[in-house]
Chains A and B, each alone.
Chain A
Amino acid sequence: MIIYYLISAFIAAMLIWNFIREKQDKEKMLLYLIVLIPLVLRIFRMR
């Protein structure tokens, strides 16, 4: 089971990295953060 949390953390890290790198497209910036929400909730075992 722990490997799925590691995968979630990896995907979350990639989304944060892409969010930081994004310079122009505001829509993409917002979408990276929205997609991040369920991953963060799972990593912290809220949902």
Chain B
Amino acid sequence: MEIKMSGNWTIKSIFIIIILAITIISAVQFYQHRHFQLPIVAGPGVTKVIKLSEYNERLKGTMADTYVFFLEGKEPGGKVLLLGNTHSNEPEGLLASLIFIENAIVEKGTLIVIPQFNNSGSRVTHFGDGYPLFFEIATEWGSKKFRFGDRNAAPLDSWPDPDVYVHYPDRQLLSYLDVRNVNRTWPGRPNGPLMERVTYAAMQLMKQEQVDVAIDIHGAETMFPVTNCIVAPEKSMDIATMTSMTVTAMEGFENHVEPSPRGFRGLSHREIADHSDVMPFLLEAPIPFLDQPTGPKTIDLLLDGKDPFLLSLAKQKKLFVPYDESGWPMEKRVGQHCSVVLEIMNQFSMMTPDREILVNNVPRYAEVVEKGVGFFYHDPSQAKKDRIYFN
């Protein structure tokens, strides 16, 4: 029997094969990205690891649930909460958090670290900008691979978006996308949209664990004025100012203070301050990768921050940070965050000696710049299995 195919179906078949190939390749890449598990080695200072859903059971079984690492000191003291990857396309927060988890020894007080605060956002890539799905950090024992995520949670986990996100409890109208932005949904609700459930759990954690200081680690564009800074509400302003002055004088990098705006709701530094006794801080380091007028969004640009278009703009004084041929490498950004976090704890301890927190074995700016970020990560293949947490 002879089967004849019309010219019409010949071209249709070619189109189907091409589109099917594109769809399958995309699907495989997205699936591998969403399900890639990052091994986190709990260092000698980690005393307890639980899930964030312990503080809000409505997170259980969702992609937004994430690990919470406790580093408890021998002596009681103050308690500090560290949040990384609030925006998963600002990986400095995750990288700095892991340095604390893998190395810190807490002598006094407690350090609580949530390295992947927006776990869902780290499992989706940004729409339309050609972001890389993964990046690697060179270490002494090879390279450590990370997912590179998006600013907002994955639509697969939090969908559909509303026409306008109405912030709870202030009812301020925000962009529809902000329903998936975990730094617009503070203080959250136990049964609200997924990101509100995350922030509600974090608020409960701070309340139940009697946290004194919360530090939310971010990064921002070089063309955005709120970059290379500490954002602080009124009650955190003294410590933020002292921290800024100290790191500038002692460690040689600039990190100015920005006041937390009263009229812009949903941000961690605003809502934690207004809805709890905790002193919040939000740290920003410049990420040239996030600027719009750059070349292709490559892994090199993410890691070294070198871009000829930004260099040209810097010469025209269009940037809010110093910028030259050396770019803004990851070591500088992560090193800044390590130093600023340590200095906030130091200043808090000096101002409230009865709630002192003493953390050792965490590198400061100069050491991270000299040795690189990867130097401070441990080889998962050499670690005990019960000390490795995959997420």
- What residues of chain A have their CB less than 8 Å away from a CB belonging to chain B? 1, 4, 19, 23, 26, 29-30, 33-34, 36-37, 40-42, 44-47
The tally of residues in B whose CB lies under 8 Å from a CB in A reads 18
Minimum CB–CB distance from B192 to chain A (whole Å) comes to 15
Complex Cα gap A29–B27 (Å): 22
Closest to A44 in B: B27
| 13 pairs from A and B in contact (CB 8 Å cutoff) | A4-B160, A29-B12, A33-B15, A33-B19, A34-B19, A37-B22, A40-B23, A41-B30, A46-B26, A46-B34, A47-B26, A47-B30, A47-B156
Are B8's CB and A23's CB within 8 A?
yes
Complex Cα gap A41–B19 (Å): 12
Chain B facing A: main interface SS: helix
Query: B19's contact among A26, A36, A45, by CB below 8 Å, is which?
Result: A36
Closest to B6 in A: A23
B313 in the interface, Cβ–Cβ < 8 Å? no
Closest to B22 in A: A37
Closest to B34 in A: A46
- What residues of chain B have their CB less than 8 Å away from a CB belonging to chain A? 8, 11-12, 15-16, 19, 22-23, 26-27, 30-31, 34, 124, 155-156, 159-160
Query: B27's contact among A4, A23, A41, by CB below 8 Å, is which?
Result: A41
3 closest cross-chain pairs (CB), A and B: A33-B19, A46-B27, A46-B30
Report A-chain residues with C-beta under 8 Å of the C-beta of B26. Answer: 37, 41, 46-47
Report A-chain residues with C-beta under 8 Å of the C-beta of B19. Answer: 30, 33-34, 36-37
Report B-chain residues with C-beta under 8 Å of the C-beta of A47. Answer: 26-27, 30, 124, 156
Complex Cα gap A2–B103 (Å): 45
